[in-house]
Chain A
Amino acid sequence: MSYIAGVDIGNSTTEVCIARVAFDGTLEFLVSASCPTTGIKGTVANVHGITSALKQAMGSLGLGTERLSLIRLNEAAPVIGDTAMETLTETIITDSSMIGHNPSTPAGAGQAVGQVLFMEHLDRAERGTPYILAASRNHSYEAVAEAVNRAVDEGGSIEGMILQADEAVLVENRLHKKIPIIDEVARMDKLPEGVLAAIEVALPGETVRMLSNPYGIATLLKLTPEETQVITPIAKSLVGKRSAVVLKTPGGNVREQVLPAGEITVCGDRDVTINLDEGAEKIMAALSEAGAVRDILGQPATNVGNMFARIRRGMGEVSGEPGAVSAWGTGAAASAQGTHAAVSARGTGAAASVQGTHAAASARGTGTAASAQISAQEPHIRITDILAVDTLAPVVISGALAGETCLEKAVGIAAMVRTEKLPMEEIASRLKAELGVQVAVAGVEAVMASLGALTTPGVAMPLAILDMGGGSTDAAVLYPDGRTELTHQAGAGELVTMLIGIELGLRDHGVAEQIKKYPLAKVESLFHMRMENGQMSFVEESIDPRFFGRVVMLTERGMVRLEEDIPMEKIVQVRREAKRKVFVTNALRALRQVAPEHDLKRISNVVLVGGSAEDFEIPDMLMEEFANYRIVCGRGNIRGSEGPRNAVATGLVLSYIGERQW
């Protein structure tokens, strides 16, 4: 009798299972465990996570790891996923020009136009001139109200107010004449005195109408058609706000700058070049058009060029293939080396960098010079797949007064990097040295996953699996004669986390990860909360008041409060959309790749495995989508007990029995 372990190193999680093998070859699975993967998948840094998971599993059996006879590691696919986001537009205000935010309690309603006048200079107000009074927090609400009442009684024209303190209602309640008042404007010091300002406070339950409309601003500030054109980004960024101020600064300038996103060249059966700002749909169409992809290049000296160079550099460090990395540089133009290089480039811009021989790239459409960086000896590190997703990122507007953000067009990209080989043998020998147990690298990951998936009750061959992990979405079809078709696609859980983080403007990656994983609820009283599906949940013991009124995540360890003030409905919408964009797109893409004649209708059933298959909504989304193709789809239940996890580890143990002759 011996104990053997199957170990699956994933992009995010390392999973193990332990089985007892009797002398007659009878196999009994005993326990499973998992730990976060330490370091990048396929590197020696993984050893620490593997050891922890094995100790955890053996510990639960009351045994030490020295009792293991054999550890079987997956032949991790030499692909690593990475994600990045680039904003394509940026709004810049080169002078103090706007305030647009959502103070919790503005006062009054309507619009007003006037010259900005500081409270300290109220005595300088001229009769007949309309003013917008600005008061810092040094002035009490009583003093402000009294001074304004006096000024108005004496014939002054105070049309609106901007306050630094949260005292708009307190001031308004003490005014004889009601005017719109905006409060909680932190950067009063940046407010220029004497300039013309338009102020608007929306009616309760509404948002500003005049200042979120370029023609509304033009009406209030009497702008020319040219000036109206310039003010458009301001109007756009004030959409949805409850109060706003727009300042007409003569020297000021507002512009929406289009950042040089750069071009992507897909080198495949055909080379196809596409500009990043064409959007995700066209990028993915270009990818399909290129056929079998050998490599994907980013235009040097652009955002996308730098992004791809960063991914390759990271992968080079992992696989120890520096030669391949230096060939790509960091996007700067390199000198041409070798012969027969051919680059066709239209337009002007960055110089093309050419290396090696037989390189060819064509630049289509408008744009800058294309880069051809393919050598006769193909580079060892290649980007073999990307998933591009359109997104909107709230970016802080340069020059705004209250930290206002504007939703800027952005594209999120997950890239799949392929190397010649990952140092799996080195991991195996390190592990052997550390634990004193024989270690074998065995089995192709996707095949092992299929074998493991076969232990799900009710499945039969031919079997299609969709392995949805953190970094990649893999698909495989296992036929009864042993043939296997498999593919790795860029983009999975990590890209979803990134999109959630970007679109909700979250600074903490951990919070975005939790939003992805857990359903939400809003604590509406000390004794009940409303779930995101509308269901009400009541509790006997009062809920901690710190959760009151907050959106919370319902984790297995209880409620976790979300610090950001974002409506629950918005979070749910962003989360679901991110999952749909990544997983539905990728599932269809991956299955089409492995399906007989690339026809989805020729796949009859799909088993979902991997960490993301455990998600509380992704499998349902896929089932809904696959129903259109009459595909039966469901979450795997490995060994009838493990759910969709542990497929590869289980497959590794099963394949051991198959390999041995008993």
Chain B
Amino acid sequence: MVMNRPTIFIYTNQPDRAVLKEICAGIEEEGIFFEIFERSVREVNELAWQAAQDSMLGSGLGICGMDAAFSMRGLTRKRCVEICLNPGREQCRRLGSNSARAIKRQPLAMD
């Protein structure tokens, strides 16, 4: 029997290391597991959408270079919850945290 782990998926395309690290920290602080996969798609919202579709928890992040996006299963391809272009440390943390809070049914932190 194949069992999927209940994790948030992070689909990346040559991600900036600092952006990836802070997003992961945001998820970890909320106590949720995550998995990272490299993909060939270069559109950040498409990465996030696919990640959300594939994640057992229905929450996914896309990181392409310096840009990042967060999506949830049920949203359309073009409508991510949040997209950050060249985000700072706090924004990255918040993006990761929000992807986890969505699973915990907690309000998302907004600007």
Contact = CB atoms under 8 A, between A and B. Distances in A.
B16 interface: no
Interface string B69-92: 000101110010110000000000
Interface in B15-50: 25, 28-31
A545 B52 CA distance: 14
Contact of B25 (A141, A168, A548, A550): A141
B105 A105 contact: no
A546 B105 CA distance: 12
Contacts of B75: 526, 542, 545
A167 B75 CA distance: 30
Nearest to B73: A526
A549 B30 contact: no
B105 A549 contact: yes
B110 interface: yes
- The prevalent SS among residues of B at the interface is loop
B103 to A, nearest CB: 10
Contacts of A546: 108, 110
Contacts of B76: 542
A479 interface: no
Contact of A166 (B29, B81, B108): B29
A527 interface: yes
Contacts of B82: 545
Contacts of A545: 72, 75, 81-82, 108
A31 interface: no
Interface residues of A, number: 20
B31 A549 contact: no
Contact of B28 (A173, A524, A527): A173
A550 to B, nearest CB: 5
10 contacts: A105-B29, A105-B31, A141-B25, A166-B29, A170-B29, A173-B28, A524-B105, A527-B74, A548-B108, A550-B107
A301 interface: no
Most buried by B among A169, A525, A546, A548: A548
A397 B79 CA distance: 44
A169 B108 contact: no
A549 B72 contact: no
A524 B25 CA distance: 25
A105 B101 CA distance: 11
Contact of A526 (B30, B74, B107): B74
Given A526-B72, A526-B75, A542-B75, A549 B108 contact: yes
A168 to B, nearest CB: 8
B4 interface: no
Contacts of B108: 545-546, 548-549
Closest 7 interchain pairs by CB? A549-B107, A545-B81, A169-B29, A549-B106, A550-B107, A526-B74, A170-B29
A224 interface: no
B56 interface: no
Given A170-B25, A527-B74, A105 B107 contact: no
B107 A167 contact: no
Contacts of A542: 74-76, 79
A548 B104 CA distance: 11
B102 interface: yes
A481 interface: no
A550 B105 CA distance: 9
B22 to A, nearest CB: 11
A546 B102 CA distance: 11
A170 B74 CA distance: 30
A546 B81 CA distance: 8
Given A545-B81, A548-B107, A550-B107, A169 B74 contact: no
A542 B73 CA distance: 10
A483 to B, nearest CB: 58
A12 to B, nearest CB: 32
B110 to A, nearest CB: 6
A518 B95 CA distance: 32
A565 B30 contact: no
A449 to B, nearest CB: 44
Interface in A499-544: 524-527, 542
B29 A167 contact: yes
A168 B28 CA distance: 10
B24 to A, nearest CB: 10
Given A141-B25, A526-B72, A565-B107, A548 B31 contact: no
